[in-house]
Amino acid sequence: MTSLHIVLFPFMSKGHTIPILHLVHLLLRRRRISLTIFSTPANSPFIRQFLADTDSSVVRVIDLDFPQNVPELPPGVESTDLLPSMSLFLPFSNATKLMQPHFEQALQSLPTVNCIISDGFLSWTLQSASKFGIPRLVFYGMSNYALILNRLVRRDRLLVNIESDDEPFSVPSFPWVKLTRNGFDYPLRDLDQRNPLLQSIVEHAMATSNSQGLLVNSFDELESIYLDSWNREFLPKAWCVGPLCLAESPTPTGVQPLQKPAWVQWLDKKSAEGRSVLYVAFGSQAEISSEQLREIAIGLERSKVDFLWAVRP
């Protein structure tokens, strides 16, 4: 029986890379499968460390040089968490397109590739996949809820007639959901279709629509109504494959598991007490001022709830 060879290409951002690495663990539970993961030299050590317990004959990592001397980008920046400002996200995203020839050259040197799973922000990989007749599946790492609402609001131009950023409005397909224009990232609430960042998002969406499938880090019991709505309204078909964080490799037989970190022990204690814990995290891309951090801290303190807050240095 011939093994299945899958190529995975995560976007250079921890919030995008980590779920795809969890997906790798899930795929490795299947027999007769081999995986090739594309990265860059600066991001590769993190990926290799994450996959240190996997069989190197089954999982290989190929590094492609990240474009150098890109206008606006500081030297050596190969991931979004190192950007001095998220205003540089578009130049960073566009810079990845310069990797396409090297990606295609590497594809030609690989054993037969049956499928490419690439991040939705790497929309140019659709051209590469089509060039070699390889199916491309898209991975964003976000929920069905976020996917369908973003697409419906954009398609039906629901932000056009909203008078203020804080005016609540509902989505016809989901009248119980109340949104505001402030709930959307800047490019999505900008009505000027010439906005370069908005044009980039549209480009990603079109590439997604022309791909062969969409993998979602969620599960049907949690979001069936939003998953079904996507599959009625849009292409490509979406499949739930999560929650992928549960797919980490098991501890090998005979190996003693490491002692749990203090924060995990604290969570276990709260669970045993039947107490819920609020998790607060804004990812690696949000720009939050010191004043905003202080206000969040004050709100958490006054709420009197147990909370776990992930704060970047």
d(CA 303, CA 128): 51
What sections of 165-261 are H helices per DSSP? Answer: 186-189, 196-209, 220-233
Catalytic residue among 102, 119, 190, 192: 119
DSSP 184: S
102 is catalytic: no
Q: How far is CA 254 from CA 50, 51, 251, 257, in A?
A: 21, 19, 8, 9
Looking at 16, 22, 25, 204, which residue is catalytic?
Answer: 16
Residue-level length of the chain? 313
Which tokens sit at 133? Answer: 């007749």
User: Is residue 166 left, alpha or beta, with left meaning phi > 0 and alpha meaning psi from -120 to 50?
Assistant: alpha
User: Is-catalytic flag, 55?
Assistant: no
Cα–Cα distance for residue pair 110/223, rounded to 1 Å: 37
> Annotated catalytic sites, by residue?
16, 119
